[in-house]
A and B are shown apart, each in its own frame.
Chain A
Amino acid sequence: MRALEPWVVAPLQTFITESSARLILLMTTSGQVVAQHGFSRSLDVMTASALGAAIVASTEELARIMGASRFGAVVHGGSRQSCMLAAFGTPRGRWIGLVVFGSETSVGIVQLFFDKMVEELVGAAPKEHPSPAPVLAENFEHDLNASLKELFGR
C-alpha cells in the first residue's frame, strides 16, 4: 500500500484488513491519486483514477438534474469481482474511493468498513491546509510523474 500523505496510511490499512478488498484507489475529484493498494502498474492507476473521477462527476450531475442529493455510492456487481465507487468529504476537499473486491467479502462489509475509513480519515486529516500550488500545464507532467513514483516506489 502506498500513500502520498502519511496520515492516510492507518485508516486505509485498517480498511484493507477488515474489508478484504483486493484493490483500492483514493483520489481527489479531479483524478489526482492520493493512495493506492493492489495496483501493480502506474498506467492502471492513471486510467482507473481518470475513469473513477469521470464516473463520479457524471453521477453527481445526473443527481443534480434529477433534483436529488448526491448518490452515496455506485456499486457494479460482477461475477468474479465487484467494484464500488464512492465520493466523500474530507478537510482536504472532496475525495473518491474506488474499491475492487471479490467473493471472499461482500458489498455490505465493504460499505460498512469504507464508511468507518472515511470517519477515520476525516478525524486524522491535519487541520492546517497546505497552501495549494497552482496547477500549471508545464508542471503537470512533472507532478504526475512524481506522484506515481511515490505511489509505486520507483
Chain B
Amino acid sequence: MTAADEALERVTQVPGVRGSLLISADDGLVVAERLMEGIDGRAVAALAASLVQRLGRATGGAGLQAPKFVHLRGNAGSVLAAPGGDDLVLVAVVDPDANVGRARIEMLDAVGRLA
C-alpha cells in the first residue's frame, strides 16, 4: 500500500466520512481517491483545490499564514481539506453527523506523514 493509499484508508475509517481524496492544489486534479458511490471526485478535487488556493490568497493578503485546515460546513455535510507539502491537499467529504474532530486529527496526521 502506498503512502497516499494509507492516508486515504485512515481518513475513510472515521465514522461518517463518505470519501477522501488526495488532490493537486495547483491543478485541481485527483491524485488518489477513495470515495463512496455518488460522489464526483473530479468535481470535488477541482472545487476544493480552488477553495484552498483562494483561501491561501485571502489569508496571504491579510498578512496571515495559509490555512492548515479548512472546514466548509453545509446542511447535507461538510468538506474538509488539509493542505500538505508538495502541492498536495488531503480532502474528505463527510456526513453532517460525522466525527469531524477525529477526521481532523487523522487528516492532519496523514498529511504530515505525506510531506
Please give the residue numbers on chain A whose beta carbons come within 8 Å of chain B beta carbons, in ascending order. 105-109, 111-112
Q: A106-B26, A106-B46, A109-B46 are in contact. List 4 more A-B contacts (CB 8 A).
A: A105-B50, A106-B49, A107-B28, A112-B46
B78 at the binding interface (Cβ < 8 Å) = no
**CA gap between A118 and B43 in the complex, in Å:** 15
Closest A residue to B26 by CB, please name it: A106
How far in angstroms is the closest Cβ of chain B from A117? 14
Contacts of B6 in A (CB 8 A): none
**CA gap between A112 and B44 in the complex, in Å:** 10
Contacts of A109 in B (CB 8 A): 28, 46-47, 49-50
Q: How many pairs of A and B residues are in contact by the CB < 8 Å rule?
A: 34
B42 at the binding interface (Cβ < 8 Å) = yes
B97 at the binding interface (Cβ < 8 Å) = no
Instruction: Contact check, B53 vs A106: say whether CB atoms are below 8 A apart.
Output: yes
The 18 listed contacts between A and B (C-beta, < 8 Å) are A105-B50, A106-B27, A106-B46, A106-B50, A106-B53, A107-B27, A107-B29, A108-B27, A108-B29, A108-B42, A108-B46, A108-B49, A109-B47, A109-B49, A109-B50, A112-B28, A112-B42, A112-B46
User: Per-position contact with A for B39-59: 1 when CB-CB < 8 Å, else 0?
Assistant: 000110111011001000000
What does DSSP make chain A's interface, helix, strand, loop or mixed? Answer: helix
Closest B residue to A109 by CB, please name it: B46
Interface size on B, residues (CB 8 A): 14
Which of A105, A108, A109, A112: most chain B CB closer than 10 A?
A108
Contacts of B28 in A (CB 8 A): 106-109, 112
Contacts of B46 in A (CB 8 A): 106, 108-109, 111-112
**CA gap between A142 and B53 in the complex, in Å:** 47
**CA gap between A87 and B53 in the complex, in Å:** 29
**CA gap between A68 and B50 in the complex, in Å:** 32
Contacts of B47 in A (CB 8 A): 109, 112
Instruction: Contact check, B43 vs A112: say whether CB atoms are below 8 A apart.
Output: yes
Q: Which of B1-39 contact A (CB under 8 A)?
A: 23-24, 26-29
Instruction: Contact check, B26 vs A111: say whether CB atoms are below 8 A apart.
Output: no
Closest A residue to B42 by CB, please name it: A112
